[in-house]
Amino acid sequence: MRRAVAAGAVLACFVLSAPALAKDWLSFDRAWARPGDTVRAQTTYAQHGNKLVVYVLPLASSPRFWSIGYINDYAPDPGPPPHVRGAIRVGTTRAYGQAAWLAFRMPRVRPGEYVLGVWCKPCNTHWTSALPNYQPDPRGLLRVRG
């Protein structure tokens, strides 16, 4: 019963999220990588295809990049992203039809769980591939091995 309620709450958060978040949501192309591996961040539909600035950051830093409590608990935060320790800018997405993608080399980071941080320049908002309460999209979490 609790799982059903929790699953419904998470689904409701995604459904009620701001349009920019839903349309410009990025995911990793794999579940794990090593530093130096080529990794791809992608989405099947991007409203702002070639204007999303992408960062890689530890899952534990996600709540500092995207906070809870602004207007709608799970809406993107306004403005450019904060300077968060451990957040590494890896590039800007490229549009491909209605999709967007970015291929990058995984930076030298400690082993652990990493998420994507996104700054949508045209809509001036930012978010991560994990909700601020550490609930990552399964495709938005990358496990880095040493």
Q: What are the pLDDT digits (tens) for 100-112?
A: 999 999 999 999 9
CATH number of the domain residue 62 falls in: 2.60.40
* Percent of the chain surpassing pLDDT 90: 45
Give the Cα separation of 90 and 105 in Å (integer): 8
- Does residue 37 have a pLDDT over 90? yes
Q: Domain total for the chain?
A: 1
Is a pLDDT exceeding 70 seen at residue 13? no
Q: Which residue has the higher pLDDT, 64 or 102?
A: 102
DSSP 2-56: HHHHHHHHHHHHHHHS-HHHHHT--EESSSEE-TT-EEEEEES--TTTT-EEEEE
Give the domain range for residue 42.
2-144
What's the rounded mean pLDDT across residues 71-95? Answer: 85
CA distances from 53 to 1, 30, 76, 118 (A): 39, 20, 14, 6
